[in-house]
Amino acid sequence: MTKTITLAQGNGGEENNDLIKKVFYKAFKNEILERSEDAAVIGNLAMSTDSFTVSPLFFAGADIGKLAVCGTCNDLAMMGAAPKYLTCSVIIEEGFEVESLERIVESMRSELAINGAVVVSGDTKVVPKGSVDKIFINTTGLGEIIQAGISSNNVSEEDVILINRDIGCHGATIFAAREGIEMSSTLRSDCNSLYPQVKALLDAGVEITAMRDATRGGVAAVLNEWSRQSNVCIEVDEEKLPISDEVKGICEMLGFEATALANEGTFVLAVKKDSAAKALEILKGFEVCAMASVVGEVTQRYPQKVILKSPWGTSRFLETPSGELLPRIC
């Protein structure tokens, strides 16, 4: 590990995992933490925390407020829990506009309503100019587990892998906005609360083995985490990966892989084979999930690896993204 922290260590990929393992897991080691789930499971409660920093604060499709509620609620939903109670801590830079703060909080309020959750405790700190970039938000959430046993450690050959919608929209939107890439496009962040989709799946009796929202590190990180945690091989058909033309275009121009781009309303599911058709039907009932797709299967071909199969019969490993996301040179 490097002597000083670099941006790559916050990428949700390889360096990030390394930092967490060598510093935090080492110090905080306990059985619950070591399960490495999206949210900790304590009895029939799920608990998760997340801090949010994004530039720009307002972007196509959402803002940092919506993100802060979706992020934590989605982590709870991924454990089969209904989000119930959240805390909200903000660190605000001196000079930040109150009007912007109000806009952000209003976004949080409306997103909480979608999840059926409330903020029950909070904290506010203001720091001198330059100490933070405008505003940082932390939310911690408690949820009530409505379907027990969902775990990234249980994926097996009886499962198939699904993705609920087209991938990479959030990462592509933020990258384009941050770097001022101007293009006429309908590209918007996928930032969205996933609990309604999860609830619909569970209500319909879909047998879900695992769910994980593909945030930093993208779909590639989730699939790799599962293959390792469950000691299986996940084989993905490249042509079945749902990717919009806009995201494909940005990836082409900048040399990115859509599977490595961050999402904020996209999740990967492992469901029992018999449940796959029903799961797909339910997901497609949601407007944003028009491109939901069964993308792959679980095998023992190369345990702890993810294989991407091309439509012309070649295959390669899909690795956990590493390094900072950088555009190619020529």
Partner 1 sequence: MSSLELKDLYDGFRDPEVIRGYQKLIVSDAQKLSRTINIMEVCGGHTHTIMKYGILQLLPETIKFVHGPGCPVCIMPKERIDHAYVLSQQPNVILVTLGDMIKVPGSNGSLQDARAKGADVRFVYSPLDCLKIARENPDKTVIFFAIGFETTTPMTAALLDTVIKEDILNILFHLNHVTVPEPMRALISDEACIIDAFLGPSHVSVISGSKIYEEFPRDWGKPVVVSGFEPVDVMQSISMIVKQFIENRCELEVEYHRAVSREGNLKAQAMVDKYFQKVDFRWRGLGDIPQSGLGLREEYERYNAEKIYDAVLPKEEIDDHKLCICGDILKGKASPPQCTIFGTACKPTSPVGSCMVSSEGACAAYYKYGNLV
Interaction between residue 56 and partner 1 (CB under 8 A): no
Distance CA 18, CA 13 (A): 9
Please give the size of the binding site for partner 1, defined by CB under 8 A: 37
Give the residue with the Cβ less far from partner 1, 192 or 259. 259
Give the residue with the Cβ less far from partner 1, 175 or 195. 175
Q: Which residue has the tokens 């304590």?
A: 42
Residues 197-236, mask of contacts with partner 1 (x by CB under 8 A): ----------------------------------------
Give the residue with the Cβ less far from partner 1, 43 or 313. 313
Interaction between residue 184 and partner 1 (CB under 8 A): no
φ and ψ of 41, to 5 deg: -105, 120
Tell which positions 301-320 bind partner 1, by CB under 8 A: 302, 307, 310-317, 319
Q: Which of 181, 200, 288, 291 binds partner 1 (CB under 8 A)?
A: 181
Distance CA 24, CA 130 (A): 27
Q: What angle is formed at CA 259 by the lines to CA 78 and CA 156, rounded to 5 degrees?
A: 50
Cis preceding linkage at 56, omega within 30: yes
Interaction between residue 6 and partner 1 (CB under 8 A): yes
Distance CA 206, CA 275 (A): 5
Kindly indicate which of the ranges 4-12, 57-65, 133-141, 161-169 contains the residues binding partner 1, using the contact rule CB under 8 A: 4-12
Residue 163, Ramachandran bin (φ over 0: left; ψ between -120 and 50: alpha; else beta): beta
Interaction between residue 249 and partner 1 (CB under 8 A): yes
Contact present, 255 and 183 (Cβ < 8 Å): no
Q: Which of 45, 60, 254, 288 binds partner 1 (CB under 8 A)?
A: 254
Q: Smallest gap, in angstroms, from Cβ of residue 240 to partner 1?
A: 13
| Torsion angle (degrees, nearest 10) of CA 252, 254, 259, 263 | -120
Interaction between residue 248 and partner 1 (CB under 8 A): yes
Distance CA 316, CA 59 (A): 35
Distance CA 60, CA 182 (A): 13
Among the listed residues 84, 294, 310, 78, the one whose alpha carbon sits nearest the alpha carbon of residue 195: 78
Interaction between residue 102 and partner 1 (CB under 8 A): no
Q: Which of 8, 108, 174, 206 binds partner 1 (CB under 8 A)?
A: 8
Helix (H, G, I), strand (E, B) or coil at 330: coil
Residues 14-53, mask of contacts with partner 1 (x by CB under 8 A): xx--x-----------------------------------
DSSP 39: S
Among the listed residues 250, 241, 215, the one whose alpha carbon sits nearest the alpha carbon of residue 309: 241
Q: Which of 179, 203, 274, 281 binds partner 1 (CB under 8 A)?
A: 179
Interaction between residue 182 and partner 1 (CB under 8 A): no
Residues within the interface to partner 1 (CB under 8 A) = 2, 4-8, 14-15, 18, 179, 181, 245, 248-249, 252-255, 302, 307, 310-317, 319, 322-324, 326-330
